[in-house]
């Protein structure tokens, strides 16, 4: 089978589209023929290398996939060959106190499949092996490409806003990178809870898409001062929730833009891992600063219900052959991405 493999860190030139052996299926695993697989920023971190995290080589990136089950291990009961599924990329021991309590994201063995696992087991491949626990039914109202674009960003945005920040009706939610993978989900989740999304993006074209998805306020960060705009929009009060992920470049603004007693919830550091915090803001203004990563299968199932009802919609801006993943990564690195870019393996054509 063909897959997109790399054996060391570097630029997109390290990505090789080549033959690899088909994965073996253990009793609790399924083998899935990938019809479509999404690009995520994690694919870029894995390729570039990230301080404090060792990537297992040879590596196949990709944590999102939609496809058809072709083989099920002898102990698998929840799916069978022919089933159409999507992958939930959180893997954990399933045994410890955290897993038993349904907060597998706190398991000491928690990993993002296709990012922190390996060798050779990510979704940018024609066939994948995943634990049967990690597949759920593909929403029937979506194409393969649409379905593959959702799970990782949907579950992350859901956990950030619903579980961690506990978004409420009327909350002003400041969303950085609002037209990116996490942002398009955050706008729709905020709307679902009758909150008031304030979308930040770097172009008017991106902001148009944000508006279509339900953003009530739009800020073009290249033309406008984000802090001034947030103060104007909220009557100088500040945002109830700041949906952070660009990191270094935006952190100080996020700290200033949140209201007294408000919440900053962060899951990323696209522009840098170090954010300067004036601690007086945190204690005088009694801020809640929260981290969040991925989410549980239960959180993904909850969120997927709203995909099935059409309340949360995927935004796929580009569909490329799997071998062109490098091109997709450059678009993401240049902040030119709108919604999600999806890759389709040559041999598994989804149409």
Footprint on this chain of ligand NDP (rule: CB under 6 A): 40-42, 45, 152-153, 156, 176-177, 179-183, 200-202, 206, 221, 245-246, 249-250, 267-271, 293-294, 332, 335, 337
Identity of the residue, 30 or 328, whose beta carbon is nearer to ligand NDP in the bound complex: 328
CB of 153 to ligand NDP, least distance (A): 5
Closer CB to ligand NDP, residue 25 or residue 198?
Answer: 198
Residue nearest to ligand NDP (CB): 180
Residue number, 222 or 280, with CB nearest to ligand NDP = 222
- Residue 205 CB, shortest distance to ligand NDP, in Å, is 10
Contact of 290 with 165, CB cutoff 8 Å: yes
- CB-nearer residue toward ligand NDP: 192 or 207: 207
Exposed/middle/buried for residue 91 (C-beta within 10 Å: 0-12, 13-18, 19+)? buried
Output 163 or 348, the one with its CB closest to ligand NDP: 163
Taking the complex as a whole, how short is the minimal distance between the CB of residue 5 and ligand NDP, in angstroms? 21
CB atoms within 10 A of CB 288: 15
Q: How far is the CB of 340 from ligand NDP (least distance, A)?
A: 7
Shortest Cβ distance from residue 130 to ligand NDP (Å)? 18
- Which residues on adjacent β-strands are paired with residue 112? 90
Peptide bond into 215 cis (omega under 30): no
Task: Round to whole Å and give the CA distance between 144 and 146.
Answer: 6
Residue number with CB closer to ligand NDP (96 or 249)? 249
Q: Which residue's CB is nearer to ligand NDP, number 15 or number 337?
A: 337
Tell the smallest beta-carbon distance from residue 208 to ligand NDP (Å): 12
List CB contacts of 65: < 8 A, sequence separation 6 or more: 32, 34, 36, 37, 38, 86, 87, 123, 128, 148
The residues, ordered by sequence, that sit 6+ positions from 235 with a Cβ below 8 Å of its Cβ are none
**Nearest distance, CB of residue 206 and ligand NDP, angstroms:** 5
Closest distance of CB 31 from ligand NDP, Å? 26
Residue (28 or 293) nearer to ligand NDP, CB? 293
CB nearer to ligand NDP: pick between 256 and 293: 293
Q: Return d(Cα 286, Cα 302) in angstroms, integer.
A: 31
Shortest distance (Å) from residue 246 CB to ligand NDP: 4
């Amino acid at each position: 089978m063909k897959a997109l493999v790399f054996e060391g860190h570097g630029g997109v030139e390290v990505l090789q589209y080549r033959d690899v052996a088909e994965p073996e299926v253990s009793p609790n695993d399924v083998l899935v023929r990938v019809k479509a697989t999404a690009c995520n920023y994690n694919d870029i971190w894995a390729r570039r290398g990230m301080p404090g995290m060792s990537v297992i080589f040879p590596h196949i990136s990709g944590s999102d996939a939609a496809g058809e089950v072709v083989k099920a291990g002898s102990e698998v009961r929840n799916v069978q060959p022919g089933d159409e599924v999507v992958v939930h990329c959180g893997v954990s021991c399933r045994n410890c106190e955290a897993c038993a309590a349904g907060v597998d994201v706190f398991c000491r063995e928690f990993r993002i499949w296709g990012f922190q696992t390996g060798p050779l087991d990510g979704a940018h491949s024609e066939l994948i092996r995943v634990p049967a626990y990690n597949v759920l039914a593909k929403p029937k109202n979506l194409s393969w490409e649409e379905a593959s674009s959702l799970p990782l960003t949907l579950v992350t945005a859901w956990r950030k806003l619903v579980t961690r920040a506990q978004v409420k009706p009327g909350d002003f939610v400041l969303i950085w990178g609002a037209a990116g993978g996490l942002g398009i989900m955050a706008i729709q989740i905020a709307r679902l809870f009758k909150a008031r999304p304030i979308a930040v993006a770097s172009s008017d074209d991106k902001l148009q898409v944000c508006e279509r998805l339900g953003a009530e306020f739009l800020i073009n960060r290249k033309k406008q001062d984000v802090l001034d705009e947030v103060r104007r929009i909220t009557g100088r009060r500040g945002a109830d929730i700041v949906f952070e992920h660009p990191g270094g470049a935006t952190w100080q603004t996020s700290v200033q833009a949140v209201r007294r007693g408000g919440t900053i919830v962060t899951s990323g550091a696209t522009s840098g891992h170090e954010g300067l915090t004036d601690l007086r803001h945190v204690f005088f203004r009694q801020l809640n600063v929260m981290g969040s990563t991925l989410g549980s299968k239960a959180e993904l199932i909850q969120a997927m219900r709203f995909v099935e009802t059409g309340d949360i919609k995927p935004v796929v801006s580009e569909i490329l052959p799997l071998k062109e993943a490098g091109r997709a990564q450059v678009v993401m690195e240049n902040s030119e991405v709108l919604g999600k870019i999806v890759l389709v393996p040559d041999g598994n054509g989804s149409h």
